[in-house]
Amino acid sequence: RALLVGAGGAGSAIALALLDAGVATLAIHDADNTRRDALIARLSARYPGRVAIGSSDPTGCTFIANATPAGMRDGDPLPLKVEPLQPTMFVGDVITVPEVTPLLAAARRAGCTTQTGVGMFNEVAKLVVAFYAER
C-alpha cells in the first residue's frame, strides 16, 4: 500500500509509475481536493479499485512519497504526520534543495529507508539520456 502526497505534475507522474509497477493500493492526499479527485478519477479509469482518497496519516503504508513543495523553505509544515512512521516504510521526497528535507530527516530518525529528490532526479536524468541516445 502506497501513500502519495501531492497530486500536481510530479505527483501525477509518480502515481502512474507506482500503479504501472504494480502497487496494490495507492492512496492520494492533496490539500486541493479538486486536484486530488481529478487525479484519482483519471487513474481509476485505468486502474479500477486500486486508487483511493488518502490522508496525511501514513499508517498501514509501506511506500510514502511527497510530491509537494512542503519542506523547501524553513518553517514549512510537514506534508504528513511523521509520528506513525515505522522502519518498515520507505519514504521518498521530490525536493532537491534541501536534499534532506525535514520529512526525510524524521523518516530517517524513525528508521525508514529514504530517497532524496536528488536521487530521484538522477534516475530521471538517466532515463532522459537513454531516451535521446536511442534517437
Per-residue confidence of the chain (135 residues) as pLDDT tens digits?
999 999 999 999 999 999 999 999 999 999 999 999 999 999 999 999 999 999 999 999 999 999 999 999 999 999 999 999 999 999 999 999 999 999 999 999 999 999 999 988 888 888 888 888 887
Beta strands in the chain (DSSP E): 2-5, 26-29, 51-53, 63-66, 90-93, 113-115
Q: Are 27 and 54 in contact (CB under 8 A)?
A: yes
Q: Are 64 and 88 in contact (CB under 8 A)?
A: no
What is the Cα–Cα distance from 104 to 118, expressed in whole angstroms?
Answer: 12
